[in-house]
Chains A and B, each alone.
Chain A
């Protein structure tokens, strides 16, 4: 057993109008790998504090919007450099606290910080194209189309990758001239708050505000008449509530929600190359990311060989506390999610599903002190099992077999979700042709992630119940702007 070091509990406040603001009501943030450890005591923002945060952001709109796009872009690029510098510090820097609150591995969080820096830079690049006025002219008139800030943006961020998911909102909003009120996730608010306070110095006072709390804080933010856009990443039930609240003041909404992303292996796949990459696409962050592979479809002809290789690879995972250097697989972020995953496993078992628990416990004695579970494969479950039809958001992967491409397309599309998807093949043409038949916002081929080029150019988001609108690229940037069209009539 490794030596146990309990770091001091932090006090984290709301960040409003350039200053930390405490609150009488606080909640504890616990280490998901060692629940007894309270990482931070965090101030809850009540309605009055949310109002102050929005008013502060609203007041900052004029001075911030008056700065040129180039200067706003420069400030966002400096923010990107600061985030990257944090990544370089490893767990001695910001990554340390994010690892402890999320339960994600240091390598995952350091990658997340680097990804966040790139997301900021990519959005600046996209803004240079997207914010350029369009001017057309003929004998009778001139038309000029400008993109203006939408106003105060409420950015509501989830716990599973809080830094990068926030920066996807932060960067386009700020470069477009908007100001921000960020609501942090209750089980991972600390890293976001520390980073935002650090970055706020690059911007005029009030441009960045941070509030903490649960559904009530979110509701106060969604209802505030001076918020013009709610950009939310999280679950569908919360999204519905947000949209209903937003309706009263006709706010714009942009939602990136869950998925039940299918991975389709084709029979020409190079198994040795594909399997490690595919496993990362499913089990990275212990399966806790929106576009994780959530259903795996393997052709009947190669099923047994493919499944055996999966079992062998996944069995190598060592599940434990993320700060333990032996660990390659962290805990589940919160007890609610762990209980949901266990119930899915239980239901699958009760329905007669074949479950294979894999991997090893790093520290069996302290297993129950954290939200731990071993990765699980489900062999050939029936298509109507909950583990197939629901989003698990955790390390339980159902592996189905199929006979024809038509069959697998129908299975993949037979869901209310439509976020990502992936195809694994040696044949480019076949992969792209199949991709075009999938009902999803994104399809990755031969890796379940965006390439460097993809991060810059792909609008990130889903269709059907997986979202409204999109993030990243010129198309995502447009969500953070309003259009003002001017029409000069020549006399």
Chain B
């Protein structure tokens, strides 16, 4: 990749969302790609480790109960 071409690609990227043109996609070197990936997973893992808020457990249990009631068991 030449310097000129690189600049052009960078500008294209900064114009952001636009449309999906494969041909204009820049490429990251593998080291940077790995660092971005590691950061992303580390951030995500932290979120995954958070305890499940009670509201979700309660929600699903409520639905279970409702179902049980319909069957006349309560």
On whether the two chains bind one another, the answer is no
